[in-house]
Amino acid sequence: MFLQILRDNPLLLLFLVAAIGYPLGRLKVGGASLGVAAVLFVGLAFGALDPDLKLPEVVYNLGLVLFVYTIGLSSGSIFFGSLRRQGMKTNLLVAGMLALAGGLVAAAKVIFQIKTPLAAGMFAGSLTNTPALAGVLEHVRATAPAALVDQMTAEPVIAYSLTYPMGVLGMILVIYLLQRLWRIDYHAEMERAHEFGVDLEPLDSCTVRVQADQQASIAELVSGNDWDVIFGRLKHAGQVHLVNGQDHLAVGDLISMVGRRDELERVAAVLGQPAAERLEFDMRVFDRRRVFVSDPEVAGRKLRDLHLGERFGAIVSRVRHGDLEILPHGDTLLALGDQVRILAPHNQLTPVANFFGDSYRAVSEIDVLAFGLGVALGLLVGMIPIPLPGGVTLRLGLAGGTLVVGLALGALGRTGPIMWEIPYSANLTLRQVGLVLFLAGVGTRAGYAFFSTLRQGDGWLVLGAGAAITCITGLATLWMGHKVLRIPMSLMVGVLAGLQTQPAVLGFGLEQSGNELPNIGYATVYPVAMIVKILLAQVLLILFL
């Protein structure tokens, strides 16, 4: 009776899986938890009860699109920036590890005499890549004899459903075991975050007493010494005022600055010595306030283009993006939902707050026009056929197309009046909802095939080989990246999730690290991993069919 109710009410099934899986994922065993990935395994359990107990395909497709597109929007600028730093190295690492996985599949196919369609499906499942499976099915339909098409297209799907759950769980276990074996201190790794395009070290402030007259202006000192600090207040001849780039420092002046601790110490060593005195304004003249960036006309523009000094006599000393405080520069792009700390004349605080918008309600909403256009463009890009040598046609698919477009639009920021980025809080909400939809949908649809296929002859063999391929690839990737290339584990768990193109592994990595570096690693390698896996899955068919 209960199963019939769930079969007739897919929405009830969806929310029941989510409601059970989410709290289970928060339970800690040995100091670690599955996180939102537990939704997948609850979905598998429900799906195993009945072959018709599964969510519509549109549920997990919608979840996949929401998750991947919001990841792309939030990581676009970081992705393209990382390619100029560590990104090329990590992408080459991922391509090499995927080639290793392909070699392992080929070896398993030969040693255990696994059918070629099963081997191709095992590759796609052990690396949890639906677009790769779709490419395999398309290639089989185009090349197999008409009488064998149904059988040969069913075999990759069976192998995929067997190996996919272990493709998720295996990578999670690899991360969990190695972080304990290597005794990873994720908090300490945050200090190296600036090497990968994001500052996670908290901002600090100090006051310096100048010990020698400076011939150069403050602007010339900053550019000439490549200082990464923001100067706020200056006390000269007994008067405190906001710093102007044309100010010159004299002996005995007190100047306040904001920045990372090591950079503050470097600047203080040049100008003089730290002072205990705090510079306070005459509040009748100057004041400070934190305001929300909620006006779309301001978001997506460089800070220098806002001309705050000329308009309001104001400066921005800090920018808070989500839980991170960012040191502002002239080329800093403000995003909807950011909080900026303003120093300004008292009578200009209200005008400058109105200029930024300062509306909490506005930063909780999204521009449906821009969001819909971006997702639609991503879906269209994913449908474009890309002909390759040998008669193979490549399509990026739902995930690949929306990710590529999301990354491009996230880096672009805005196009004329259209603001592509969405507020930080709204992005996180959509991302979480998308991930839950995706995991619940995939779990319920694969559950019955997963358990029923285990009872077939090659079921355990394919499952075991797929699990071995997943774990060996994960171990090799983390060892090579963290131990050989010295990449922080926080970044490497994101790289591993990107190699696996697996949101559940990313969710686990984010919960374990407690910082944003996994998102950067994921976005850096995801596009390359997606394309390489689609190609390799079809190469396996070409080699052995």
Per-residue model confidence as pLDDT tens digits over 222-242: 888 888 887 877 888 777 777
Strand pairing of 386-388 and 418-419? unpaired
Q: Is 30 left (phi over 0), alpha (psi -120 to 50) or beta?
A: left
Question: Is residue 341 pLDDT above 60, yes or no?
Answer: yes
Distance CA 304, CA 306 (A): 5
Among 347-351, 434-438, 453-457, the minimum mean pLDDT is found in 453-457
What pLDDT is recorded for position 466? Answer: 92
Q: Where are the beta strands (DSSP E) in 278-323?
A: 286-292, 315-321
Q: How far is 462 from 108, CA to CA, in rounded Å?
A: 9
Kindly report the average pLDDT of the chain as a whole number.
80
Whether residue 357 has pLDDT greater than 70: yes
Are the beta carbons of 538 and 104 closer than 8 angstroms?
no
Does position 504 have pLDDT exceeding 80, yes or no? no
d(Cα 90, Cα 84) in Å, to the nearest integer?
12
Residue 289: burial class (beta carbons within 10 Å; 0-12, 13-18, 19+): middle
For the chain, helix, strand, coil in percent to 5 are 60, 10, 25
Under 8 Å between Cβ of 540 and 124: no
In a 3-state reduction of DSSP, which class is residue 274?
A: strand
What distance separates the 2 farthest-apart alpha carbons in the chain?
Answer: 93
Distances (CA, A) of 440 to 61, 125, 218, 386: 11, 17, 57, 31
138-161 as b/e: b if 16+ CB within 10 A: bbbeeebeeeeeeebbebbbbbbb
Check: pTM over 0.85? Answer yes or no.
no
DSSP string covering 431-455: HHHHHHHHHHHHHHHHHHHHHHHTT
Quick one: pLDDT at residue 285? 61
The pLDDT of residue 6 is: 86
Question: Can you tell me the distance from the alpha carbon of 285 to that of 219, in angstroms, rounded to the nearest whole number?
Answer: 24
**Strand, helix or coil for residue 185:** coil
Mean pLDDT of 67-92: 75
Banded pLDDT at 148 (limits 50, 70, 90): low
Say which range, 51-55, 186-190, 434-438, 476-480, has the weakest mean pLDDT.
186-190
Give me the amino acid identity at 91. N
Domain residue ranges of the chain, discontinuous segments joined by +: 56-194+396-418+431-544
Residues in the chain: 545
Alpha-carbon torsion, ordered 485, 489, 491, 496, to 10 deg: 90
Amino acid (one-letter) located at 32: A
pLDDT computed for residue 532 by the predictor: 82
Look at residues 318, 307, 311 and name the one whose alpha carbon lies nearest to residue 348: 311
For residues 1 and 482, the model is more confident at 482
Stated as kind and residue range, the H or E segment containing 400 is helix 397-412
% of the chain beyond a pLDDT of 70: 84
pLDDT, tens digit (0-9, with 9 covering 90-100), for 529-544: 877 887 788 788 777 6
Q: What is the pLDDT of residue 123?
A: 93
H or E segment at 520?
helix 517-544
- 30-34, 60-64, 238-242, 339-343: segment of lowest average pLDDT: 30-34
* DSSP label of 320: E
What pLDDT is recorded for position 375?
93
Q: What is the pLDDT of residues 266-297, one digit of tens each?
A: 888 888 888 877 766 555 566 778 888 878 77
